[in-house]
């Protein structure tokens, strides 16, 4: 488990403020009603200095989340790209996690948000392996959560907004309480949806399978990167509904996410996945991913935004 490790500056609506000054009123709409759109983006230490991974794609998802919730972002993507680069430079960080937030501040008394200003923050801080130091190497033990993901047309799953993470918290706390590192949740129809903060990939007979964007899960930027990497490596990808039991019978299983990167799953509900060790397809995709983000191979897809 990890606690935030403070950095020096936070970008707040066009200016840099000291970390401790980036505060909100307790009655801000975001606090009362969960209306804080956010992103999670990693910046890696490459041979050419710090580089932010797929910054523009993360920002696109953020603007889409805001659109769904009728929040007008008062900055252009270009302005936020420059703000993010300056943020990493100012904080003198080599590798870090950037957490852009667009939230409704103080003003509205009730649920109708329009009396609250839309405020934009860009914090960042150093953040290591989300699922623990051994997770990338050895894999994690997961369970199937008893909590389901949200149903389509209830709370939009493709929006990354604070309120959605109440469901994620229940899923993750249950997993930890039961002695697992992570949980995979099912959608309301009982089919595989996603982890508490990761997308799910199954490997069978050398091909990879992941559930479709069906209104129960977040379309991960890492998920998209995995699909592209698989294509580059000549690995067939199938986007299709997956029954729960496939998690027990597949050859390999892994999770993808900004914080978790490519994390192998070695068991589900105490049943070993395949040999119980990370398999060759997972390894190949993970290696390629880590080589790209760390700048060890050419950035063929233009995924890195260098900070210098
Ligand atoms: N699903 C959920 C619920 C998440 O919170 C995340 C992390 N943002 C993901 C999937 C993976 O998305 P990404 O690869 O863009 O980090």
Rg for the chain (alpha carbons), in Å?
A: 19
The β-bridge partners of 36 are 103
Mutate which of 100, 165, 199 for ligand 1 pocket (most atoms within 8 A of beta carbon): 199
Q: Look at the domain 9-125 and name its fold.
A: D-amino Acid Aminotransferase; Chain A, domain 1 (3.30.470)
| pLDDT score of 2 | 81
Give me the catalytic one of 160, 172, 231, 287: 160
| pLDDT score of 170 | 98
DSSP 8-state assignment for residue 152 = T
Task: Please say if 160 is a catalytic residue.
Answer: yes
DSSP per-residue codes, 101-151: EEEE-S--SSS-GGGSPEEEEE-EE----TT-TTHHHH-EEEEE-SSPPPP
Q: Is 185 in the pocket of ligand 1 (CB under 6 A)?
A: no
| pLDDT score of 1 | 62
Q: Which residues of the chain have pLDDT under 50?
A: none
Domain assignments of the chain as residue spans, ordered by start: 9-125, 135-293
Q: Is 168 in the pocket of ligand 1 (CB under 6 A)?
A: yes
| pLDDT score of 249 | 98
- The count of other CB atoms within 10 Å of the CB of residue 240 is 11
Mutate which of 57, 198, 214, 286 for ligand 1 pocket (most atoms within 8 A of beta carbon): 198
- The count of other CB atoms within 10 Å of the CB of residue 159 is 18
Measure Cα distances from 210 to 69, 204, 253, 274, 297 in Å: 27, 11, 10, 17, 26
Indicate which atom in ligand 1 lies nearest the CA of residue 58: 15
Mutate which of 197, 200, 226, 259 for ligand 1 pocket (most atoms within 8 A of beta carbon): 197
Q: Is 100 in the pocket of ligand 1 (CB under 6 A)?
A: no
| pLDDT score of 128 | 84
CATH code matching the domain that covers 135-293, chosen among 3.40.50.2000, 3.20.10.10, 3.40.720.10, 2.40.50.140 = 3.20.10.10
Half-sphere exposure of 215 (CA within 13 A, CB side): 7
Q: Is 220 in the pocket of ligand 1 (CB under 6 A)?
A: yes
| pLDDT score of 130 | 87
Look at residues 209, 206, 181 and name the one whose alpha carbon lies nearest to residue 195. Answer: 181
Indicate which atom in ligand 1 lies nearest the CA of residue 225: 14
Indicate which atom in ligand 1 lies nearest the CA of residue 157: 3
């Amino acid at each position: 488990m990890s606690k935030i490790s403070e950095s020096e500056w936070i970008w707040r609506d066009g200016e840099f403020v000291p970390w401790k000054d980036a505060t909100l009123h307790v009655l801000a709409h975001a606090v009362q009603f969960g209306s804080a759109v956010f992103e999670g983006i990693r910046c890696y230490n490459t041979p050419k200095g710090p580089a932010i991974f797929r910054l523009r794609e993360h920002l696109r998802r953020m603007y889409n989340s805001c659109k769904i919730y009728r929040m007008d972002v008062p900055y252009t993507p270009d302005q936020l790209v420059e703000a993010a680069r300056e943020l990493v430079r100012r904080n003198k960080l080599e590798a870090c996690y950037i957490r852009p937030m667009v939230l409704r501040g103080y003003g509205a008394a009730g649920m109708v948000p329009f009396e609250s200003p839309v405020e934009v923050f860009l914090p960042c801080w150093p953040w290591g392996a989300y699922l623990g130091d051994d997770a990338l190497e050895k894999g994690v033990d997961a369970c199937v959560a008893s909590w389901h993901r949200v149903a389509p047309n209830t709370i939009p799953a493709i929006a990354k907004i604070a309120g959605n993470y109440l469901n994620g918290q229940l899923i993750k706390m249950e997993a930890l309480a039961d002695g697992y590192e992570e949980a995979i949740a099912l959608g309301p129809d009982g089919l595989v949806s996603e982890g508490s903060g990761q997308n799910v990939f199954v490997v069978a007979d050398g091909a990879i399978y992941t559930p479709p964007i069906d209104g129960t899960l977040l379309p991960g930027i890492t998920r998209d990167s995995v699909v592209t990497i698989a294509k580059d490596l000549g690995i067939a990808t199938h986007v299709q509904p997956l029954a729960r039991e496939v998690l027990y019978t597949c050859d390999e299983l892994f999770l993808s996410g900004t914080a978790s990167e490519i994390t192998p799953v070695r068991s589900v509900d105490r049943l070993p996945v395949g040999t119980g060790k990370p398999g060759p397809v997972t390894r190949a995709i993970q290696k390629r991913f880590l080589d790209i983000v760390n700048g060890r191979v050419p950035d063929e897809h233009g995924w890195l935004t260098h900070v210098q």
